[in-house]
Amino acid sequence: MITLYGTGPMFGLPHASPFAIKTEVLLKLSGLPYTVVRADIRKAPRGKMPWIDDGGEIIPDSRLIKRHLEVRHGIDFSGDYSPRALGYGLAIERMLEDHLYFFNIENRWLDSDNFAAGPAQFFERMPALLRPLIIGMVLRKVRRQVELQGTGRLKPDEKLALVRRAIDALEAVVSGQHYMLGGRVCGVDATAYAFLASIAAPQFRSDYADYLRQKPELVSYIARMQAEFFPDLPAP
């Protein structure tokens, strides 16, 4: 039995973290038995969620978890697509994980209304006197992260233009297809669903989400994936 350390359902999503959503979809695709445990971030092996415990072997980072499932358990996430299509898929994953992710994190954590609607819940069990200090420290860390990555240095109209371009590209990719690369589900869909659903989460307000919700192909894709892999969650 594999144990996945994430948040469990939050914000109308399977997990608060898109990386944890991605990992759980990969586990579902693998067919391996697993259970989900609410993570204590203080015990995270690299300070982030998710991680898994596979028979006592601790694996952090969704990318390393995917590789572990492929190597140790012989899972094939390729969907039997060609190397060319899978290369295309890897580019999609990197655009989501290393580009769009930072816009969404900045919007969720550094917008005061969105922070109150979501991430503030992570601090509710902390002592009231320490809570403001810890929140301030975490927010400074997030701000520094997006500054170093580059997203935090952009003007609002520049950010929106870049996000729109990426969303347009993703809609063009999935248009007329059931899954991201075609008619068969594969590992790319674990990433695509996780990050698109996180951007579109109705609990948070942003121009990015508003633009995404105007894209019927992407909205339908999110709904199909959620119905298939997380049918107990309300329809997005």
At 90-140, the pLDDT tens digits run 999 999 999 999 999 999 999 999 999 999 999 988 899 999 999 999 999
The arithmetic mean of pLDDT across residues 7-22, rounded, is: 95
Whole-angstrom distance, CA of residue 224 vs CA of residue 207: 23
Q: Could you please report the per-residue DSSP string of 80-121?
A: T--HHHHHHHHHHHHHIIIIIHHHHHHHHHHSHHHHHHTGGG
In this predicted structure, what is the pLDDT of residue 140?
Answer: 97
171-211 confidence digits (pLDDT tens): 999 999 999 999 999 999 999 999 999 999 989 999 999 99
The arithmetic mean of pLDDT across residues 224-228, rounded, is: 97
In this predicted structure, what is the pLDDT of residue 80?
Answer: 97
List the domain boundaries for the chain: 2-73, 83-229
For residue 201 the two structure tokens come to 């989460």
Cα separation values, 188 from 76, 97, 139, 182, Å = 12, 11, 31, 11
In this predicted structure, what is the pLDDT of residue 125?
Answer: 86
45-61 confidence digits (pLDDT tens): 988 999 999 999 999 99
The arithmetic mean of pLDDT across residues 138-161, rounded, is: 96
CB 181 within 8 A of CB 81: yes
For residue 116 the two structure tokens come to 């109150």
What burial letters (b/e) apply to 31-68, b meaning 16+ CB within 10 Å? eeebebeebeeeeeeeeebbbbbbeeeebbbbeebbeb
**Phi-psi map region of 213: left, alpha, beta (phi>0 left; psi -120 to 50 alpha):** alpha
Arithmetic mean of pLDDT over the chain: 95
pLDDT at 41 over 90: no
Whole-angstrom distance, CA of residue 92 vs CA of residue 85: 11
pLDDT at 236 over 80: no
pLDDT at 235 over 80: no
- Choose the weakest-confidence range: 127-131, 145-149, 151-155, 161-165: 127-131
Whole-angstrom distance, CA of residue 120 vs CA of residue 146: 19
CATH architecture, range 83-229: Up-down Bundle (1.20)
As a whole number of Å, the end-to-end CA separation of the chain is 30
Phi and psi angles of residue 155, each rounded to the nearest 5 degrees, phi first: -80, 155
Confidence of residue 42 (pLDDT cuts 50, 70, 90): confident
Q: Is the pTM of this model over 0.75?
A: yes
Return the DSSP state at 234. P
Q: Select 2-73's CATH number: 3.90.650.10, 3.40.1080.10, 3.40.30.10, 3.40.50.12780.
A: 3.40.30.10
